[in-house]
Structure 1
Amino acid sequence: MPELPEVHALAGDLKRRIGGHTIERLDVSAISALKTVSIPLSTFDGHTVDDVTRHGKFLDLQIGGDHLVIHLARAGWIKWREKPPTPRRPGKGPLAARLILSGGEGVPSGSGLDITEAGTKKSLAIYAVSDPADVPGIARLGPDPLDDAFTLDVFQEILAGAGRSQIKGVLRNQSLIAGIGNAYSDEILHAARMSPFKPADMDADDAARLYGALRLTLDEAVARADGLAAADLKREKKAHLRVHGRFGETCPVCGDTVRQVIFSDSTFQYCPTCQTGGKILADRVLSRLLR
């Protein structure tokens, strides 16, 4: 799933490619992906892409004063297409929607973006709105961890409010902190040398260590991804993950074997030596929590 660093870089790449160009039309192939249409899709026709930004893991294409908001979910992606599209039957293949440009300087007519989703479980979401706050997921977002206003004090308030909740889940909760998902929460906790099951209401020293790991991990990931084309972002992310997705491999810090815990809806990885004092977490849903 694309998380904050990838969506941040993807927004930059799309802005470079389509910013200032005119939309010919938006074709939606997967009707199930269209979640909110508070304005007609034809509203975008003939208008210019003014900006491309993000809200947490949501992409926001600002077009003529309105907004095309996209959440790529677990298996969605956006591909740049330089040639006019080949007509396809709706619902066939991974294509969910196409944004077609009218053309202009450096951009051939008919080029644009293909919004795709792999797999059979379809979670990609597209919203056509006049205000991003009309998207429920954006309205619920917590503070952005890259924002200067996201200070240690703010982070400690979030942790205190979460009480005895497991810190892994707190980091992933979009209503508490925007943009962090399964992969980067694993990486942050590894960098902080902290158990995924540690309660959120930790002492000040632990909170400061976790805050530093969070900012450093995300800042480094954003810096690596900045300027990359969308086609290169997935490969770059995978190449620099230390524990996430590396079950059975060697921890690059201590040399121990990376372990994992499987839940009903997700799997996470960790290093026992770095994070749990050498203890192996039970690999089942009702794992006994480590204090």
Structure 2
Amino acid sequence: MPELPEVEALAGFLRERATGHAVARVDVLAISALKTYDPPVSALGGLTVTGVTRHGKFLDLDIDGLHLVVHLARAGWLRWREELPTRPVRPGGKNPLALRVHLDDGSGFDLTEAGTKKGLAVYVVRDPQEVPGVASLGPDPLDETFTADTLRDIVQGKRTQIKGLLRDQKIIAGIGNAYSDEVLHAARMSPFKIASSLTDEDVETLHRAIVETLGDAVERSRGLAAQDLKGEKKTGLRVHARTGQKCPVCGDTIREVSFADSSLQYCPTCQTGGKPLADRRLSRLLK
């Protein structure tokens, strides 16, 4: 799933290539991906891309005051093409095409989504705050206003595991399953630790891990072509999706806890005092 660093890089990529170009037309193939109807997607035709930004994991193209807002969900992706085919678009393929945006110079991009579980969402709105997911976002962890005090206020009284808190977009925007694993490894903190139990020192450590982990990932991704971002994310991860490999910090074996539709990875030596975490459904929470 694309998270804050990848979406930030996609915004920069599109800002460089799409800004100043008019939208020739938009082809919608997966009508289920289009979540709004007023204004219609056809209203974008003839308007010019004036800016591209990010809200959490949402990508936002400002097109002469209308906003094309995209959430790539679990299996969605953006594929830039310097020259789009002029032939009619046909659905199907390994990464089924959901939407295609044609620009006036023949370039443009495809929004694709692999798999059968569809979550890709596209909105055409006059204000990004009209998108429910954007309106409900918590603070952005890369904004200068996101301080250790901000995080301290967030965790205070929260009787929830810190892993789940980091992934909750209404609490902190942009962090998903992968980077929450990376942040907690950098902070040397158990994913099952209860948020309200964090000391002031814990909060300072976690804040620093959030800002540095995400900031480093953004820097590594900066300037990369869209097709290279997934590979960069995978190579930059230290514990997530590396079950059975050696921890790059201490050399212990990275372990995993599986859930119904996801999993987390962690280093016992770095994060849980050397104690392996049992399956969440069977274990007591580690503090």
TM range (shorter): over 0.9
Quote the residue 2:178 is aligned against.
Answer: 183
Q: Which runs of 4+ in 1 moved over 6 A?
A: none
Q: Which residue of 2 aligns with 1:154?
A: 150
Q: Which residue of 2 aligns with 1:72?
A: 72
Separation in 1, partners of 2:109, 2:7: 15
The residue matched to 1:35 in structure 2 has which SS? coil
For the residues of structure 1 that align with 2:137 and 2:281, how far apart are their CA atoms?
27
> Does the residue aligned with 1:2 lie in a helix, a strand or coil?
coil
Deviations 1:119-178 (A, max 9, x none): 1111100001111001000010000000000011111000104x2200000000000000
Query: 1:165 and 2:160 equivalent?
Result: yes
Q: Is 2:33 aligned against 1:37?
A: no
**Secondary structure at the residue paired with 2:195?**
coil
Cα distance, 1:286 vs structure 2? 4.5
Q: CA deviation at 1:287?
A: 3.4
**Percent pairwise identity:** 64
Distance in 2 of aligned mates of 1:13 and 1:98:
17
Structure 1 partner of 2:228: 232
Secondary structure in structure 2 of the residue aligned to 1:183: helix
Q: Which residue in 2 is equivalent to 1:4?
A: 4
TM-score by length of 2: 0.96
Decide which moves more: 66-75 or 32-41. Answer: 32-41
Name 2:169's counterpart in structure 1: 174
Partner SS for 1:25: strand
Counterpart pick for 1:247 among 218, 221, 243: 243
| Offset, 1:277 | 0.4
Using the TM superposition, name which of 66-75 and 76-85 deviates more.
76-85
Q: Which amino acid aligns with 1:249?
A: Q
The partner residue of 1:118 within 114, 121, 128 is 114
Q: Is the 8 A contact 1:264 1:285 kept in 2?
A: no
CA contact (8 A) 1:262 1:285 kept: no
Deviations 1:238-291 (A, max 9, x none): 101000000010000000000000011211100000000011111243432101
Q: State the partner residue of 2:96.
A: 94
Residue 84 of structure 1 deviates from its aligned partner by 3.1
User: TM-score, structure 1 length as denominator?
Assistant: 0.95
Amino acid at match of 1:17: R
The AA in structure 2 aligned to 1:225 is S
Task: Kindly indicate whether the alpha-carbon contact (under 8 Å) linking 1:53 and 1:60 is maintained by their aligned counterparts in 2.
Answer: yes
Letter in 2 for 1:101: L
1:81-140 CA distance string (max 9 Å, x none): 12232423346651000000111xxxxx3x211110111111100001111001000010
Please give the root-mean-square deviation of Cα atoms over the aligned residues, in Å: 1.2
AA of the residue aligned to 2:103? L
Give me the whole-angstrom Cα distance separating, in 2, the residues matched to 1:41 and 1:139.
21
